[in-house]
Amino acid sequence: MYSLKNDYSEGAHPQIMEALLKTNLEQSVGYGEDEYCAQASRLIKDKIKNNNVDVHFIPGGTQTNLTAIGAFLRPYEACISCDTGHINTHETGAIEATGHKVITVKTSDGKLRKEDVISVLKDHTDEHMVKPKLVYISNSTEIGTVYTKNELKELRTVCDENNLILFMDGARLGSALATKSNDLYLDDIASMTDAFYIGGTKNGALFGEALVICNDNLKSEFRYHIKQRGAMLAKGRLLGIQFVELFRDNLFYEIGKHENEMADIIRDAIDKLGYKYLIDSESNQIFPILPNSIIEKLQQNYIFVLWSKEDERNSCIRLVTSWATKKEDVEGFVKALNDLSNN
């Protein structure tokens, strides 16, 4: 059985594992105050061309989302998310558990736009309901789509006009930035969001995310929030070492590019066979609609997510490639799909 279920089934990129092993017996201070975390922070600041940001290393994506959103909002404030947003669908009510409502907007492509934000503001007008304060977006989104620079600019504008916080979940930011049509860079994101995070877990690290806080008003005493949420790792240097390797050269971007290239091999085969998609995406997540009979036979040798039932005979599956996906792995899947489709 070979898994195309997600981009974190394997351990970590060999370069990261080598660095962790090399430094294994070193002694360092804890809780993210070590030299490796400091070095990783400097590297990220260099990449985004901004030294006036705070960088915090947090073990996981859900911890990052709930710690950041819980810290940024007052008790009666809420966040706006599209209906497919990770904080709405796959975090077990973590945001609501912090006391903050998630206001959802149904979208066709997993992306929020200024019109969506405005519609929520029009529906929440007084103190008898929660106050929308934070706009939550993911890049790439939970269904593989990617924001353009213009879309992010428009969101920034509507947030500025309405005193809203713009927060980007970057769990799969590496894949997003490596897509062929991408016109965003890390420094663009830093200049247009109040905070965002750079995903390591789904981009070759064993675990870990780098939260970048750009808005000065959100920085104060943030480490207290990290500790209270149980997100402050005693062996924080393990996070720092990994992000040093990801950003010391171009490993972060190379991994994103590899993930997408492997996905493109599968995507090209699906196109040639004439199958449709639930959503068009360029990233490392693919959502083809296939006959149930073919899906059942593929499941004998491959693991993937059965995403949605489209009709009585067809369903959508999700295929995801990772840093460790080899060309022969995807070519094997393509051959199996071709053989089943042509019989």
- Residues 80-107 pLDDT 10s: 999 999 999 999 999 999 999 999 999 9
Report pLDDT for 307: 97
Report pLDDT for 286: 98
Taking the mean position of all CA atoms in its chain, how far away is CA 137? 9
CB burial of residue 258 (10 Å; 0-12, 13-18, 19+): buried
Rounded CA separation 330/296 (Å): 18
Query: How does strand 209-213 pair with strand 165-169?
Result: unpaired
**Superfamily grouping for domain 255-342:** Aspartate Aminotransferase, domain 1 (3.90.1150.10)
Token output for 210: 């780098």
With cut-offs at 50, 70 and 90, classify the pLDDT of residue 332: very high
Token output for 74: 């007052």
Rounded CA separation 146/284 (Å): 11
Chain segment 153-210, per-residue pLDDT in tens: 999 999 999 999 999 999 999 999 999 999 999 999 999 999 999 999 999 999 999 9
Q: Where are the beta strands (DSSP E) in the chain?
A: 2-3, 54-58, 77-82, 102-105, 131-138, 165-169, 195-199, 209-213, 285-286, 289-291, 302-303, 305-309, 314-320
CATH 3.40.640.10 in the chain is located at: 14-248
H-state helical runs in 98-250: 114-123, 149-161, 173-177, 186-192, 222-228, 237-248
Q: Is the pLDDT of residue 240 over 90?
A: yes
Rounded CA separation 239/60 (Å): 10
Q: What is the dihedral of CA 216, 34, 47, 239, to 10 degrees?
A: -100
What percent of the chain is predicted at pLDDT more than 90? Answer: 100
With cut-offs at 50, 70 and 90, classify the pLDDT of residue 67: very high
Report pLDDT for 87: 98
Token output for 119: 């519609």
Yes or no: say if 10 and 322 are a contact pair by the CB < 8 Å rule: yes
Yes or no: say if 171 and 209 are a contact pair by the CB < 8 Å rule: yes
With cut-offs at 50, 70 and 90, classify the pLDDT of residue 245: very high
Rounded CA separation 303/319 (Å): 9
Q: Please, what is the Cα angle at 8 between 5 and 10, to 5 degrees? A: 100
Report pLDDT for 252: 98
Report pLDDT for 153: 98
- Helices and strands, number each (H, E), in the chain: 14, 13
Chain segment 96-141, per-residue pLDDT in tens: 999 999 999 999 999 999 999 999 999 999 999 999 999 999 999 9
Mean pLDDT rounded to a whole number for the chain: 97
Token output for 82: 């599209």
Candidate CATH numbers 3.30.360.10, 3.40.640.10, 3.90.950.20, 3.60.20.10; the one for domain 14-248: 3.40.640.10
Region 9-14: mean pLDDT is: 97
With cut-offs at 50, 70 and 90, classify the pLDDT of residue 44: very high
Report pLDDT for 343: 79
